[in-house]
Structure 1
Amino acid sequence: MASKAKRAQYTLEFKLEAVRLVRAGQSMAAVAATLGMVEQTLYNWVKADRKDKLAGAGTRPVSPEQMELARLRVEVARLKMERDI
């Protein structure tokens, strides 16, 4: 009997930061890749945030350092893209 893979659960703060990055002009693909998640999940968060229905699981703590690291990775990716253009 094969066991199901455990689904990742994210805090509301983590989700809001990911949505903020998308709203700041980053592509969903870039943000999702940087944060190590599926693009569809991020799309669902952005859609839920537009409806003010975004909620966090609260069981996977994300430290402020992890959030900052994710934000900086996205920023570096954006700057590399701008430089290459």
Structure 2
Amino acid sequence: MSKSNMSKRYSAEFKRDAVALVRSSGRTVTAVARELGVSPEGLRNWVRQDDTDRGEGPAGALTSAEKEELRRLRRQNREQQQTIEVLRKATVFFARESDR
């Protein structure tokens, strides 16, 4: 597997500390990323998301809480659609059985 396809997961605390280091050090995102051993683009995304979470992001950008709620609602919607499909099939099955 190539390096670009390998996604590392970092804790929220690590991300928070990395963003704080960028903000307090006065160094570039690239320099801090190199020091921490993370992708500069990944760190840049964390800084951008932190801006959004603090109400300083671009108009229409979703906060972390909003993104999590959207994920939760999409998962719930998917589960409900599956339940509806099972009930629809059961209804068709039992309607056929009662016609016999």
TM-score, scaled to structure 2: 0.47
Matched-pair identity in %: 44
- How far apart are residue 54 of structure 1 and its match? 5.0
Is the aligned partner of 1:21 residue 2:29? Answer: no
* In structure 2, C-alpha distance between the alignment counterparts of 1:8 and 1:31, rounded to whole Å: 17
Q: Where does residue 43 of structure 2 map in the other structure?
A: 42
Q: Which has the higher contact order (CA 8 A, sep 6+)?
A: 1
Larger radius of gyration: 2
* Residue-pair matches, total: 54
* In structure 2, C-alpha distance between the alignment counterparts of 1:17 and 1:30, rounded to whole Å: 15
Rate the CA distance shift 1:19–1:3 in 2: closer, same or farther, 3 A.
closer
Unaligned 5+ segments in structure 1 are 56-85
* In structure 2, C-alpha distance between the alignment counterparts of 1:26 and 1:38, rounded to whole Å: 15
| Partner amino acid, structure 2, of 1:13 | E
* In structure 1, C-alpha distance between the alignment counterparts of 2:18 and 2:34, rounded to whole Å: 11
Q: What do you get for the CA RMSD once the two structures are aligned?
A: 2.4
Rate the CA distance shift 1:3–1:12 in 2: closer, same or farther, 3 A.
same
Rate the CA distance shift 1:31–1:42 in 2: closer, same or farther, 3 A.
same
Unaligned 5+ segments in structure 2 are 54-62, 66-100
TM-score, scaled to structure 1: 0.55
